[in-house]
Amino acid sequence: TNTTHYGQQIEDNRIPIIWRKLKRSSALEQRRKLLNAWNAASPHAKRGLAITPVKFGISFTLSHLNQAGAFVLVYKDGSMQVNHGGTEMGQGIHTNIAAIVSKELGVPLEHLRLMPTSTDKVPNTSATAASSGTDLNGAAVRNACQIIRTRLAPLAAEMLAGKTGRKIPIQHVQFQNGSVYDARCIASDRSDKHSIPFTALIQRAYAKRLSLSATGYYATPNIHWDRVAGRGKPFHYFAYGAAVSEVEVDGFTGMMRLLRVDILQDVGDSINEGVNRGQIEGGFVQGAGWLTTEELKWDDQGRLLTHSPDTYKIPAVGDMPQIFNVTLLKNATQKNVIYGSKAVGEPPLMLALSVREAIRDAIAAFGPPGGEIRLASPATCEAIYMAIQRRVNSRRRSSRLKDALAIS
């Protein structure tokens, strides 16, 4: 069924197509055969292979947090200052916001100035969390830009009519590449005679005392959540993905090498593929650290022992996959979101479960088919080694039992 256990209808289930495409693009079945042959010839090291999916709900489950504001200002020289409620922390939200402003008003990126988050410009901001930064703040910025564009369009139509000698319907006024023109003109006919510079339009608007700033707002529609009943529609949509991971495990030390990772992620219509790929790769590696190296230990007094870089190990360059393939699902427009795009902050972190499952698969190869594979999380070298020892001892017990039965 496409209904969650809390009663939300899933309207865009893309897991089946992602699963099929990733199995094919990663050559999963062929690699499984090669891996089995490699394991059969390698008594002291084993390789494991696993594929895992992710369905990740996007929105704050505290519904009132799903709102955002923006404040956009246009100056007489055609430059712009953009304020929004999202916090840039390296994830690329400013890059996405700049692309949205540029698309809405046709302003070159170099004419935009994205400001740090400040509640004296945009009050009552929600946290930049829940993978909703661009969804919320991008939509608010777009709303502000559309307000400004609506104010400017009649004046632009008037100015274009003065140059071309023909009336320009407001709905055909197009903002693009630092110019304003009649959208009915073919690209080769958008000469100076048939277009006006954005800066000239802004200067005329200022002279005519048109407001050149606007406040934008957005609230995610049609979401609700009853915490007491545990029912409702807490998420605006779901982000989907899947990953195939291949590892090699040393039976003497428990050391693990991440050989290859293949990811297929549903990001809708990407606003910026570079930002999306960076988020996917970074999120996956963060998840791999969570599941394999980042161990928390306390002493009997409750003091944290793994409190510094020499005791708490985050992934480093040597922990990266030797082969790292990231693909974005094509033709995956998401309805009712900014430009059909999807959030891609947190979902890829959960794809790292494929690393842990690949480790379990490798451990299983040290013993007879079947049986339980107990593996702690994080799957550190020590945890892997202990799991291998349990597996090897299980094989020895099984062998002794067979010998005893044969004698009897």
pLDDT at 145 over 90: yes
Say how far apart CA 188 and CA 29 lie, in whole Å: 51
Question: Which residue's entry shows tokens 């059969």?
Answer: 40
Model pLDDT, residue 115? 96
Q: Which pLDDT band holds residue 367 (cuts at 50, 70, 90)?
A: confident
pLDDT at 408 over 60: no
Joined together, the tokens standing for residue 332 give 């995956």
Say how far apart CA 18 and CA 25 lie, in whole Å: 10
Q: What is the set of domains in the chain, with CATH numbers?
A: 15-60+233-392 (3.30.365.10), 67-219 (3.30.365.10)
Three-state secondary structure readout of 29-57: HHHHHHHHHHHHCCCCEEEEEEEEEEEEE
Helix (H, G, I), strand (E, B) or coil at 3: strand
- The pLDDT tens digits for 333-350 are 999 999 999 999 899 999
Amino acid identity of residue 358, one-letter, is A
346 annotated active-site:
yes
Helix (H, G, I), strand (E, B) or coil at 161: helix
Model pLDDT, residue 185? 77
DSSP assignment of 99-155: HHHHHHH---GGGEEEPPP-TTTS-SPPPS-TT-HIIIIIHHHHHHHHHHHHHHHHH
* CB 175, CB 106: distance < 8 Å: yes
Model pLDDT, residue 347? 94
Query: In this structure, are strands 224-226 and 231-233 parallel, antiparallel, or unpaired?
Result: antiparallel
pLDDT at 399 over 70: no
Compute the average pLDDT of residues 205-215.
97
Phi, psi of 61 (to 5 degrees): -75, -15
* CB 395, CB 389: distance < 8 Å: no
Category of 83 on φ-ψ map: left (φ > 0), alpha (ψ -120 to 50) or beta: beta
Say how far apart CA 352 and CA 340 lie, in whole Å: 26
pLDDT at 17 over 70: yes
Higher pLDDT, 178 or 186: 178
Model pLDDT, residue 125? 94
> What Cα–Cα distance (Å) separates residue 95 from each residue in 101, 271, 292?
10, 9, 32
Phi, psi of 128 (to 5 degrees): -80, 85
* CB 115, CB 121: distance < 8 Å: yes
Joined together, the tokens standing for residue 390 give 């349990």
- Residue of 29, 346, 357, 372 marked catalytic: 346
Compute the average pLDDT of residues 255-275.
97
* CB 188, CB 130: distance < 8 Å: no
Q: Name which of 183, 125, 118, 190 is nearest 149 in CA terms.
A: 183
Model pLDDT, residue 87? 94
